[in-house]
Amino acid sequence: MCGIFGYVGHPSLKSSRGKSAAKIVFEGLKSLEYRGYDSWGIVVRSQSGKSKLIVEKHVGKIGNSKLDSSLITHHSSLALGHTRWATHGGVTVENAHPHLDCSGKIALVHNGIVENYQELKKTLIGAGHRFKSETDTETVVHLVEEYAKNKPFAEAVRSAFLDVSGLNAFIFLSIGGQMVAVKSGTPLVIGLGKGENFISSDPSALLAHTKRAVFLKDNEIIQLTNNRVNLIDTVSEKRIKPKISNLDWKVEETKPGKFAHYMLKEIYEQPQVLAKIAANGQQIEKLAKIVEDAHGTFFVACGSASYAALSGTYLFAKIAKKHVNFSIGSEFNYLEDYIHSGSLVIPISQSGESVDVVEPVVRAKKRGAKIFAIVNVVGSTLYRTADYNLILGAGVEKAVCATKSWTAMVANLIYLTYALAGRVKDGQKIIEKAAKAVEEILTDQYLNKIKKLVMKLKNSRDVYIIGRGLSYATALEATLKLKEVCYIHSEGFAGGELKHGVIALIEKGTAAIAFAPLDETYEAIISNAIEVKSRGGYIIGVSPKPNEAFDFYLPVADCEEGSIIASVVPIQLLAYYLAVEKGLDPDKPRNLAKSVTVK
């Protein structure tokens, strides 16, 4: 969840772009703002006179902040920065990273949770260490300080890491000019430059500097200088040859361009994403064979990806006549007794780093299951863990809420299902239809309708959303968009559940969105909408066909199973413009992070 960015430049202090190390790291942190955070900080190793570590920390957003001029003017080729989401300890300057040891000679930034920090802290206090924060992180920098009394710096880091429990990524900077990183379960990636190197929690932050990257694996420790990386296994202590990957995203994808927010930009990129997926039929056919041969298939996902996975279970049943199990990632461990050597586990994740998905996948692999990951980020933990990969092809998605990644997930599942049924061309046609349907929504005329609906709903306390069959997952995804972007209480239901309790919540003026595609669910959903309307509800119909039950009509072209995709787009726009109308930041909703890497 936290953002990390570090820089090691040439000792001559000249970066490739003529910027100070502190400035490079500051800009790196700004590129990570989308991940969500409540405080931030930077440490540099000053080379002005006697070497020392200088720290600047703040509560709040970076925004248009400027670094303290004294930090920039310090001669330094080494800097390390961090954006923090509070987990242990309140939102204070003292709890913000980086943290220093007692001597001020070692700095640490960290992502994860040190599960045994209380035990370690008690021992360290007994040894005379003084703590300044409430965090679990500070425990580890003092632990390294303790080991460094008798060991070289990198060995002290290794020893401390082996004492720590939990999923963590640590980066240390010493007054002696060493930068050392180590990880287990939480992402770190090295960016390889010319005479300079970078380290980050997110590969997209590296694109402004390099496309050559090394993704750290669990239990690997790396010593970083300006012109080399030394990689060692923490258990065997053997040297490892770094595996260099190429980041295939473009720098332009990381900027909003002409759009006011990333979310709006990413909504408008969906037709291009769909066109790209439609051209991927050959790979889809090969991967479908893997699913066909499996004896027991399980989808595992969280958040928007879980609703895409749910739609996948309906698609597999309807089109391919194949049963697929589904579990939310955080619940999968409680079902793992069903996993065996013939099982196929299909994790779905934009980032490929969500801990609630990664952890059960690793456990399933240990039980002998094959892993078929559907991910957006090449080189991510899920990508490297999997036996097979299907790349979403959504490009960089920087807004916290999923828009084009949701579309890419569902489109790939539609394609995969049709390939499994031996009808890959039909799947391609449906995705092309969906792309056209989305283009028809992204027009000025349609936006005027959305903006009228915004004025109707801007003061709404509740919004209920119903769908049936394939549109049930659509309702759940639409609900999540209103919750996370607009802070509106919204709930999605299968239409048939109305009479089983939900209808008690309907009163005069209650807004309800009904997804009514032209499939076998149409008449039943219209009947549900009429039930809500008869109790005073205000019905917003999303359908290819108008109906007198609708008080407000949002037309969507009929594109068969592609309607799962097209029908969500008007609600994506609704959520965006509602957020803007309410003065909220649609890119960075409160309390949320793009990639959830801690439990």
User: What pLDDT shows up at residue 67?
Assistant: 64
Per-residue pLDDT band for 71 (boundaries 50, 70, 90) equals low
User: What pLDDT shows up at residue 337?
Assistant: 85
Phi, psi of 110 (to 5 degrees): -150, 145
Phi, psi of 125 (to 5 degrees): -65, -40
Fold classification of 3-252 (topology level): Glutamine Phosphoribosylpyrophosphate, subunit 1, domain 1 (3.60.20)
* Helix, coil or strand: residue 329: helix
411-426 per-position pLDDT tens digit = 999 999 999 999 999 9
283-313 per-residue burial string, b: 16 or more CB within 10 A, e: under 16: ebbebbebbeebeebbbbbbbbbbbbbbbbb
Contact in structure between 449 and 577 (CB atoms under 8 Å): no
CA angle 356/362/365 to nearest 5° reads 140
**What Cα–Cα distance (Å) separates residue 387 from each residue in 334, 373, 523, 550, 580?**
23, 8, 43, 48, 42
Whether pLDDT at 565 is above 70: yes
User: What pLDDT shows up at residue 66?
Assistant: 66
Fold match, 256-441 / 443-586: yes
Question: Which tokens belong to 151?
Answer: 């060991």
Cα–Cα distance measured from residue 118 to residue 200, given in angstroms and rounded to the nearest whole number: 28
Beta bridge partners of 99: 108
Cα–Cα distance measured from residue 487 to residue 483, given in angstroms and rounded to the nearest whole number: 5
Per-residue pLDDT band for 499 (boundaries 50, 70, 90) equals confident
Amino acid identity of residue 34, one-letter, is: Y
Cα–Cα distance measured from residue 56 to residue 170, given in angstroms and rounded to the nearest whole number: 19
Alpha helical stretches, state H, 185-280: 262-268, 270-278
User: What pLDDT shows up at residue 379?
Assistant: 84
Q: Would the CA dihedral through 210, 212, 217, 223 be positive or negative?
A: negative
**Preceding omega of 271 cis (within 30 degrees of 0):** no
7-26 per-position pLDDT tens digit = 999 776 555 566 889 889 99
* DSSP secondary structure letter of residue 244: P
Cα–Cα distance measured from residue 303 to residue 316, given in angstroms and rounded to the nearest whole number: 20
Per-residue pLDDT band for 72 (boundaries 50, 70, 90) equals low
User: What pLDDT shows up at residue 281?
Assistant: 81
User: Per mean pLDDT, which range of 59-63, 326-330, 413-417, 525-529 is the poorest?
Assistant: 59-63
Whether pLDDT at 103 is above 80: yes
Amino acid identity of residue 70, one-letter, is: S
CA 450 and chain centroid, separation: 27
Contact in structure between 472 and 494 (CB atoms under 8 Å): yes
Residues with a known catalytic role: 2, 594
User: Per mean pLDDT, which range of 314-323, 378-387, 466-475 is the poorest?
Assistant: 378-387
CA angle 236/240/243 to nearest 5° reads 140
Contact in structure between 4 and 200 (CB atoms under 8 Å): yes
Within 13 Å, how many C-alpha atoms sit on residue 348's CB side? 30
Q: What is the mean pLDDT of the chain?
A: 92
* Helix, coil or strand: residue 137: helix
Q: In what order do the strands lie in the sheet with 52-59?
A: 52-59, 39-46, 78-84, 3-8, 197-200, 189-192, 212-215, 245-246
Q: What is the mean pLDDT of residues 56-78?
A: 73
Contact in structure between 331 and 285 (CB atoms under 8 Å): no
More confident residue, 553 or 254: 553
Cα–Cα distance measured from residue 79 to residue 191, given in angstroms and rounded to the nearest whole number: 15
User: What pLDDT shows up at residue 327?
Assistant: 94
348-357 per-position pLDDT tens digit = 999 998 889 9
User: Per mean pLDDT, which range of 247-251, 351-355, 398-402, 426-430 is the poorest?
Assistant: 247-251
Architecture of 256-441 per CATH?
3-Layer(aba) Sandwich (3.40)
Annotated domain spans of the chain: 3-252, 256-441, 443-586
Cα–Cα distance measured from residue 431 to residue 425, given in angstroms and rounded to the nearest whole number: 10
Query: What is the number of helices (H) and of strands (E) in the chain?
Result: 18, 25
User: What pLDDT shows up at residue 249?
Assistant: 77
CB neighbour list of residue 269: distance below 8 Å, 6 or more residues apart: 395, 404
**What Cα–Cα distance (Å) separates residue 368 from each residue in 286, 331, 338, 382, 455?**
22, 19, 12, 16, 54
End-to-end CA distance of the chain: 10
* DSSP secondary structure letter of residue 185: B
DSSP β-ladder status, 297-301 and 325-328: parallel
Fold classification of 443-586 (topology level): Rossmann fold (3.40.50)
Alpha helical stretches, state H, 182-269: 262-268
Cα–Cα distance measured from residue 373 to residue 344, given in angstroms and rounded to the nearest whole number: 10
User: What pLDDT shows up at residue 77?
Assistant: 87
User: Per mean pLDDT, which range of 84-88, 230-234, 550-554 is the poorest?
Assistant: 84-88
146-175 per-residue burial string, b: 16 or more CB within 10 A, e: under 16: bbbeeeebbbbbbbbbebbebbbbbbbbbb
* Helix, coil or strand: residue 327: strand
User: What pLDDT shows up at residue 39?
Assistant: 92
Question: Which tokens belong to 304?
Answer: 């928007």
Contact in structure between 401 and 267 (CB atoms under 8 Å): no
Per-residue pLDDT band for 154 (boundaries 50, 70, 90) equals very high
* DSSP secondary structure letter of residue 318: I
Within 13 Å, how many C-alpha atoms sit on residue 419's CB side? 22
User: What pLDDT shows up at residue 64?
Assistant: 64
Kindly provide the residue ranges of all beta strands, DSSP E only, lying in 427-477, ordered along the sequence.
Answer: 462-467
CB neighbour list of residue 456: distance below 8 Å, 6 or more residues apart: 511, 538, 552
User: What pLDDT shows up at residue 73?
Assistant: 55
Q: What is the pTM of this model?
A: 0.86
Please classify residue 33 by burial: count the beta carbons closer than 10 Å to its beta carbon, then call 0-12 exposed, 13-18 middle and 19+ buried: middle
Question: Which tokens belong to 132?
Answer: 């300044």
